[in-house]
Amino acid sequence: MSEHRRRSRHSLGRSLLMWFLLLALLPLSINAWLGYRQAADGLTAMAIEELEQGAKLKAQLIQIWFGYRFMDLRSQAESRRNAQFLTALRDALERSGQPLDKFVNGDTWAALVDARQQDLMTFIRRYDYLYDLFLIDRDGNILFSAEREFDLGSNIFGGPYAQTRFAKIAKTSLETGQALFSDFEGHAASNVLLTGFLTAPLLNESGETIGVFAIQLQLERIRALMLGHSGDSSLNHYLVGEDGFLRTPLAGQGMDSVLRERIDTEQFRRWQQDRGDGGLESASAYRGPAGQQVIGLRQSLQLPGVSWVLISEIDRDEALAAAHRLGWVTLVIFLLTGTLAALLAIYQARRITRPITLLADASRAVAAGDLDQQVVIQANNEIGLLADAFNEMLSVRKRHMNVLEESNDIAQMAMAELAEQKFALDQHAIVAITDVHGTITFANKKFSEISG
């Protein structure tokens, strides 16, 4: 039984060590974790706030920029001189009896243009967002182009550009009287230049629609609006169309990614499912276009004829970089503190268990008969008091043993004297012992010899 108990006994020193470490490290680890989480949550909130501010600013800039472009468009579409210019070109075409492509290369067309294009040329030189200007009659004939590219002299409704976004919004503007934006596309007449078109109905003095005034945009201005942030940050704003293709390049990319790279992130899929009212949607963490973890949000943009989504993202690792550094510092402090706590716990556990071990060894020696034991413990506490009591117990026991030994010696001497006296009596005296009735209960040998 004792062997089984000894085998199943747990180490007090190990238990004390574990408790010391638990009491030292558990509060520290909880405090460190809470501190890290607070830092991470705070930095995430700051990143989301930065995204929201940036997204609102970008959305406002885009809306304002296009708002001014539509103002410019309407001012030209409502210009009496432009209406007269288109009417003169249309009348000259009908009088010439020539095919459209021949007419725009003739002297009559050149003379009309030289006489009437001054206002339009001044307008295109004044604004750097303009690439080209068009005057288109009701039949879709492009009768004037400031840049005089391949689309001049073609019919936008039935010629090689009939399936373009430009042709579709030009027809819609004629039918509805609305000013529209075509979205971006590669325009073949401009060497597949990525561009966009604004169209508005051109009215004569009577308010009748006589054609379309169109503006061809340069994307560089919109790209500059989207990329206007510090290059040291991963903060990224980009536009995506309903078809999922980029309308502005991602940070670090060129314009060749526009209309070629498809976006299939969580934010875009949510936008496709729920277009919303144009306000900011809540931010979330997800995998970005390049496969990295990002924090992002989206905002719908509604332009005349076009729906876009503005997605704003920042790398999650960058946003939480300070929290990660804090985590590493906290881990180092935790390990150093844990090592120090372990060393102190081992030292303190040994201070507690060593006297107990000495007392146990001394007790076993005493049980084996070795009373010359003294446990020396330099501790002014309960363990020191226990050692003093143990030593006092041994001293008292030794004194009692000495007294018992002296008493035993005296008793042995008395027994020896009695034995000698008994022997003398047996040799010379008759001894008999009787009870109260006179019956002999004991008689020595001498009595037996004499009495026969």
What tens digit of pLDDT does each residue of 233-270 get?
678 889 999 999 999 888 878 888 888 999 999 989 88
Residue with tokens 């007419």: 103
Q: Which pLDDT value is given to residue 452? A: 60
Query: Is it true that domain 78-210 has CATH number 3.30.450.20?
Result: yes
CA-wise closest residue to 178 among 102, 70, 68: 70
* Fold (CATH) for 42-53+223-319: Beta-Lactamase (3.30.450)
Equal CATH topology for 42-53+223-319 and 78-210: yes
Q: Which pLDDT value is given to residue 430? A: 67
pLDDT tens, position by position, 39-81: 777 777 777 888 888 888 888 999 999 999 999 999 999 999 9
By three-state DSSP, how is residue 441 classified? Answer: strand
CA-wise closest residue to 359 among 388, 381, 379: 388
Q: Which pLDDT value is given to residue 229? A: 53
State the CB neighbour count (10 A cutoff) for residue 228: 12
pLDDT tens, position by position, 320-370: 777 677 778 878 887 888 788 788 877 777 777 777 777 777 777 777 777
Cβ neighbours for 90, distance < 8 A, ≥ 6 positions apart: 137, 141, 143, 210, 211
pLDDT tens, position by position, 400-450: 878 888 888 888 888 888 877 777 666 666 666 788 777 877 776 766 767
CA-wise closest residue to 122 among 154, 82, 90, 71: 82
Question: Can you give the residue ranges of every domain in the chain?
Answer: 42-53+223-319, 78-210, 382-442
Q: How far apart are CA 112 and CA 88, in angstroms?
A: 8
> What's the per-residue H, E or C state across 66-90?
HHHHHHHHHHHHCCHHHHHHHHHHH
pLDDT tens, position by position, 96-134: 999 999 999 999 999 999 999 999 999 999 998 999 999
Q: How far apart are CA 253 and CA 301, in angstroms?
A: 22
Q: Is 293 left (phi over 0), alpha (psi -120 to 50) or beta?
A: beta
Q: Which pLDDT value is given to residue 145? A: 95
Q: Is pLDDT of 7 > 50? A: no
Q: The tokens of 88 are what?
A: 């003169």
pLDDT tens, position by position, 266-280: 989 889 887 655 566
Q: 84-122: buried (b, 16+ CB within 10 Å) or exposed (e) per residue?
A: ebbbebbebbeeeebebeebbeeeebeebbeebbeebee
pLDDT band at 10 (very low <50, low <70, confident <90, very high): low
Q: Which pLDDT value is given to residue 233? A: 67
Q: Which pLDDT value is given to residue 232? A: 56
Q: The tokens of 388 are what?
A: 């003093």
pLDDT band at 1 (very low <50, low <70, confident <90, very high): very low
Mean pLDDT for the chain?
Answer: 83
Q: Which pLDDT value is given to residue 425? A: 64
